[in-house]
Structure 1
Amino acid sequence: MKKNQSASLQSGGKGAGERFSSSGFILAAIGSAVGLGNMWKFPYITGQYGGAAFFLLFVICLLIVGLPVLLAELAVGRGGRGNASTSLIRLSGHKLWGGFGFITILGAFVILSFYAIVAGWTMHYAMLSFTGKLFASEDYAMLFSHFNDSWLPVFWQFLVIFLTGFIIMRGVSAGIEKFNKVLIPGLVILLVVLAIRALSLEGAGEGVSFFLKPDFSKLSAESALVALGHAFFSLSLGMGTMMTYGAYVDKRQSLGLATLAVGGGDLIYAFLAGLIIFPTTFVFGLEASQGPGLVFVALPAAFSAMPFGSLFGGLFFVLLAFAALTSTVSLLEVPVAFVREAFKWSRGVSVFVVASLCFLIGLPSAMSLGNKVSWLTFGGKSFFDWMDFVCSNIVLPMGGLVVTLFVGYAWKGAAKEAGLRGWWLQTWLFMLRYVAPLLVLLVFLYSAGIIKL
C-alpha cells in the first residue's frame, strides 16, 4: 500500500487524497504567506524605514525577487513530487542537494517551535479582549511582562501545536485545504471590518498619508535590504513550505498564475494591515516604529480608548490568531512530509511524533521569556531570540539561495515544469541566476551583521 502511494505521488496521481484542488492550493499557499509577519512585523519596519516609500520598495522587491523564487520553489516541489529534500535529490540525482534541502526542513521545524509561542500570545490576548480583562489595567507593558513571567505561554504553545497537528493529521485535501478554505475568507472579512473601523476614526487621514504618500528622502540602502528581506520571508520562502505544497499540486495547475495569485494575496494582506495599523497609531498618538511591542503593548491602549474597544480588540487578535494558524499548518507539514517519506510512517504517527518533538524543542524558548529560567538567556539574547535570529538570518537565506542556484543552474527541466516560454522564461532565469542570488546573499550578510550600512 505504501509503495503504491509513493509511486502515485511521484507520477502525479491522487495519492490517497494527498492533492490540493486548484483553488485549495492557492488558498493554502496564501495562508502560508500571510502569517503574523505582515500584521506584526510589517507595520513597525514600515514605520522605521520610511512609511509609504518603504511600502513601495517592498512591492518592487516582491515582484523582482519574491515571485521568481516562489515560482522556483513550487516548480521544484511539483517536479520532484516529494518533501523539500527528496525533491532536490530526484531532480538532480545527487544527495548533496538533498542535504541542502534538509536544512530548509530543519528550519521550518525550529521556526514552528517558537512561532507557536507567538501564535499563543494572540489567542491569549483575544480571550482577554473579548472578556474585557485586557483593559482592566492601563499598564499594558506590565501586563505583557507578567504574562510571560507565568507558565501560560507554555499552555498556549501546546494548544497551538495541538490544533495544528489535528488539522495536519486529517491530510492535505480534508485537512489543510478545508481549513484554509474557511480561514482565508474569514481573514479577509476581519481585515476589511477592522480597516473600515480604523479609517472611520477621526484624524485617520494622517496615518493613511504616512502609509500611502511616499517621501523618498527617508529611504536608505538599509531600507532596501530590509524591504528585500521582508518581501522574501513574507512569502514563506527558504523554509521548504512552498516546495512541500508544490508536491501536492496537480500537473494541470498553472504555476505561473498560482504564483501571481499568492503574491497578490500577500500584498493585499499587507496593504490592509497597513490601513488598520497606521490610522490607529496616528489617531491615538502611538509610535508605529516602536518594534514588536506595537501589537501587544501599544495597540491594546488604542482599543481601550475607542468605542466598542473590547469587540474590535478581540477581532484584531482573532485575526492575528487565524493568520498565525495558517502559517503553523504549513510549517508543520514540512517536517511531517519528510518523516513520512524517510521512515514510511503513517500520517497520524508522523504528526504525533513531529508535533510532540516540536513542543519539547519549543519549551526552552517559552521558558526563556520573562523571569522563569534565567540561564536560558545568554549573550544578551533569550533562547527565543537566538532561535529567531539563527533561523531568520542564517537558515532561511541559505535555503533561498540554494533554491535559486539549483533552479538557475543545476536543474535542466525547470523551464518545462514552470510552464514559462519566450521572454517570460528568459526573464525568470535571469533573475534566478544573477539577480536573486546576489540580493539574497546581501540580505544574508546584512542580517548576520557581517556587512554594515
Structure 2
Amino acid sequence: MDDQKFSNYELSQKQERFSSAGFILTAIGSSVGLGNMWKFPYITGEHGGAAFFLLFILCLIIIGLPVLLAELAIGRSGRGSAATSFVRAGGGRGWKSVGLLQVIAPFLILTFYMIVAGWTLHYAVFSFSGKLYSGEDFSSQFSGFISGYWPVVWQLVALLISGGIVILGIAKGIEKFNKLIIPSLVVLLLILMIRAVTLPGADEGVSFFLKPDFSQLTAESALVALGHAFFSLSLGMGILLTYGSYVRKEQSLGTASLAIGAGDLIYAFIAGLIIFPTTFSFGIAPDQGPSLVFIALPAAFSAMPLGTLFGGLFFVLLAFAALTSAVSLLEVPVSYAMERFRWGRSKAVCIIIVILFVLGIPSVLSLGHVSALTFGGKSFFDWVDFITSNLMLPIGGFAITVFAGYYWKGAAEASGLSAGWFRVWLFMLRYVAPVLVFLVFLHSSGILQF
C-alpha cells in the first residue's frame, strides 16, 4: 500500500473515537494485565520487596511515562494502524518495518497469552465449584492440567470472549467493556486486599512490601525493575500506537499519560497488598516464580475461611485482568488487517482468531512435554515468550524513543506539552530512555548477566 493510499484511505475503525474517560480506562485496562497480578508479585519477592517496589516506581516515571506519551502522540498524529503510524506521522518509508514489528509482536504474544488467559478462566470456574481444593497437591494438579488438552479448550474460550468484544468496535465494544470491567476490578481488588491484610500474620507480608531494605537491591534488581516498568505499561506492543489513533484531538495526552501511569501503579500496589499478606500468613515464600499464583496461592485459599469464595474472586480478578490486555493486544492486528486488506471488522476478527488458535496449539502442546516442541532447554511456549518479550518489545521501544526524540519534526505539536515540559520530555527521550531501554534489551536477551 503506497503513501497516497495511506493519506486517502480512511477505514471505519478510524472514524470511531474514544471518549476521554473511556480512553483512559481502556489504556489502564491494557496495562493491568497478568503482568501486575502474576509477574509483579514474584519478581518483587525475588528482589527484596519494598525496596524493589520503590525502584519500580522510579523506573515507571523515568522510562515509562516518556515512552508512553511518545507512543500515544505518534498514534494520534498518524491516525493509522500500528504498522503505518510512523509513516503517516511524518516518518520516511524506512519506518514501515518498525511499524510492522509493532503488529507482529502483539500477534505472536497472543498465541501464548491466550493460553494463560484460559488458565485463569479455568481456575476461576474450578475455584468457585470447590473442585480446585479437592486435593492438597496443587503442584501436581497444575502440572496435570497444563499437560492435558483442556487448555486448548480454555484458550479457545478466551479467544472467543476477546474476539466478541473487539468485533463490536471501539465505542460499543472495547470502551464499553473496559468501563464495566475496570470499576469491577477495583471492587474485587479492594475486597481481596481487605481480606488479605486482616489475615492472622499478615503484618509480616505488609512489612515486606512496604518497609524497604535497600541492602537487598542489586544491579540486576534495577534492570528487572526497568524491564517491568516498560512492559507493565504495554509499551513497544503497538497497543498505545493503535489506541492513540482513536484519541480525540482535544484530549490532553500529558494528563492521560499521568492517569494511565497512576492507574498501573495503584493496581500493582493493591496487588502486592493481596499477594504478600496472604503468602506470609500461610508461610508461603513470595519468591516462587510463576508458580506463585497457580500453585502457592490455591494452597493458601484452601486453608482460609471461605477460601472457595475468595479464591474464586481472586481468579475472576486475574481473568478480568487477562482479558482487558487480551482485547488490547487483539485490536492491534485487527486494526492492521482492516487497513492493509480492507477487511470489515467482523471478517478481520474472525480470521485472526482462527489463525491465533491454530498457532497457539504448539505452545499448548509444548507444555504437555511433547519432546519435539522443546529445544534449547525451552518449550515452544517459552521460546515465543522469550522472542517477543525479551527481543521484539525492547527493539520496538528503542525505535520509538529514537523516532520521537531525534527524527520526528512534529513531536512538539503532537505531544501538546508546554515548552518547558516538552524540553524535559525530549531530554528523557534522547538521552535517558534509549540508554535504559537498550540495557533492558541486553539484560532480557541474556547478553548482560550478573
TM-score by length of 2: 0.97
Aligned to 2:381: 384
Q: Deviations over 1:79-116 (max 9, x none)?
A: 00001121111123422111111111100000011000
Deviation string 1:283-306 (CA, Å, 9 cap, x unpaired) is: 100011010000000000000001
Question: 2:425 aligns to what?
Answer: 428
Q: Tell me which amino acid in the other structure corresponds to 1:436.
A: A
Question: 1:37-71 CA distances to partner (integer Å, 9 max, x unpaired)?
Answer: 00000000001111100000000000011000000
Match of 1:404 in 2: 401
Where do residues 163-174 of structure 1 align in structure 2 (5 Å cutoff)?
A: 163-174=161-172
2:200 maps to which of 202, 206, 219: 202
Q: Does 1:295 align with 2:286?
A: no
- Verify: 1:280 aligned to 2:268, yes or no: no
Residue by residue over 1:239-275, the C-alpha shift from the partner in whole angstroms, topping out at 9 and shown as x without a partner, is 1000000000000000000000000000000000000
- Identity percentage of aligned residues: 64
Q: Aligned to 2:333, which of 316, 335, 341? A: 335
Output aligned runs, 1:110-125, within 5 Å: 110-125=108-123
Distance 1:57 1:368 in 2: 35
2:434 to 431, 437, 442: 437
TM-superposed CA distance for 1:452, in Å, is 1.6
What SS class does the counterpart of residue 85 from structure 1 fall into?
coil
- 1:6 CA displacement: 8.0
Task: Tell me by how many angstroms 1:423 deviates.
Answer: 2.0
- Give how far 1:351 is off: 0.8
Q: Distance in 1 between matches of 2:419 and 2:219?
A: 33
Match of 1:97 in 2: 95
Structure-to-structure mapping, 1:82-161, within 5 angstroms: 82-161=80-159
Q: Report the counterpart of residue 231 of structure 1 in structure 2.
A: 229
> Residues of 2 paired with 1:451 and 1:21: CA distance?
43
What amino acid is the match of 1:429? Answer: L
Match for residue 317 of structure 2?
319
Mind listing any 5+ residue stretches in structure 1 that lack a counterpart?
none
Residue of structure 2 in register with 1:51 after alignment: 49
* Letter aligned with residue 357 of structure 1: I
- Aligned-residue offset at 1:149: 1.8
Quick check: 1:104–1:238 contact (8 Å CA) kept in 2?
yes
Return the alpha-carbon distance in structure 2 between the equivalents of residues 287 and 365 of structure 1: 29
Check conservation: 1:140, 1:300, Cα contact below 8 A.
yes
Residue 202 of structure 1, CA deviation: 1.1
Deviation of 1:422 (Å): 2.4
3-state DSSP class of the match of 2:17? Answer: coil
Contact 1:69 1:404 in 2 (8 A): yes
Tell whether the 8 Å contact from 1:8 to 1:15 is kept in structure 2 after alignment.
no
Corresponding letter in the other structure for 1:426: R
Unaligned runs of 5+ in 2: none
Counterpart CA distance in 2 for 1:121 and 1:293 is: 12
- Which residue is equivalent to 1:448? 445
Alpha carbons of 1:416 and 1:394: their partners in 2 closer, same or farther (altered >3 Å)? same
Q: Is the 8 A contact 2:24 2:259 kept in 1?
A: yes
C-alpha offsets along residues 302-324 of structure 1, whole Å, 9 cap, x if unaligned? 00001000000000000000000
CA distance in 2, matches of 1:90, 1:8: 12
Shift of 1:360: 1.0
Aligned partners of 1:9 and 1:81 also within 8 Å: no
The separation in 1 between residues aligned to 2:193 and 2:289, in whole angstroms, is: 21
Q: Deviations over 1:319-375 (max 9, x none)?
A: 00000000000000001111111111111111111111111111110111123x221
CA distance in 1, matches of 2:18, 2:5: 19
Counterparts of 2:345 and 2:258 in 1: how far apart (Å)?
A: 31
Question: Does the CA contact (< 8 Å) of 2:6 and 2:88 recur in 1?
Answer: no
Give how far 1:4 is off. 12
User: Does the 8 A contact of 2:146 with 2:367 survive in 1?
Assistant: yes
Change (3 A) 1:407 1:5: closer
Q: What is the rounded CA distance, in whole Å, between the counterparts of 2:94 and 2:14 in structure 1?
A: 27
Contact 1:6-1:15 at 8 Å conserved across structures? no
Give the AA of the match of 1:37: G
After TM superposition, what 4+ stretches of structure 1 lie above 4 angstroms from structure 2? 3-10, 13-16
Does structure 2 conserve the Cα–Cα contact (< 8 Å) formed by 1:5 and 1:15? no
Q: Number of aligned residue pairs: give it.
A: 447
Counterpart among 402, 412, 417 of residue 415 in structure 1? 412
CA distance in structure 2 between the aligned counterparts of 1:58 and 1:131, rounded to whole angstroms: 37
Partners of 1:424 and 1:197 lie apart in 2 by: 42
> What letter corresponds to residue 413 of structure 1 in structure 2?
G
In the alignment, does 2:402 pair up with 1:374?
no
Q: Which residue of 1 aligns with 2:244?
A: 246
Instruction: Say if 2:14 and 2:79, in contact at 8 Å, map to a contact too.
Output: no
Shift of 1:7: 5.5
Do the aligned partners of 2:79 and 2:85 also contact (CA within 8 Å) in 1? yes
CA distance in 2, matches of 1:121, 1:445: 31
The whole-number CA distance in structure 2 between the counterparts of 1:343 and 1:107 is: 19
Matching residue of 1:67: 65
Tell me how far apart the structure 1 counterparts of residues 418 and 75 of structure 2 sit (CA, whole Å): 20
295-304 vs 95-104, which moves further: 95-104
Q: 8 Å contact 2:13–2:170 — kept in the other structure?
A: no
**Which residue identity does 1:331 align to in structure 2?**
L
Q: Over aligned residues, Cα RMSD in angstroms?
A: 1.6
Distance (whole Å) between structure 2 residues aligned to residue 127 and residue 96 of structure 1: 48
| Cα distance in 2, alignment partners of residues 122 and 417 from structure 1 | 39
- In the alignment, the residues of structure 1 paired with residue 382 and residue 364 of structure 2 have an alpha-carbon distance, to the nearest angstrom, of 11
Q: Structure 1-normalised TM-score?
A: 0.97
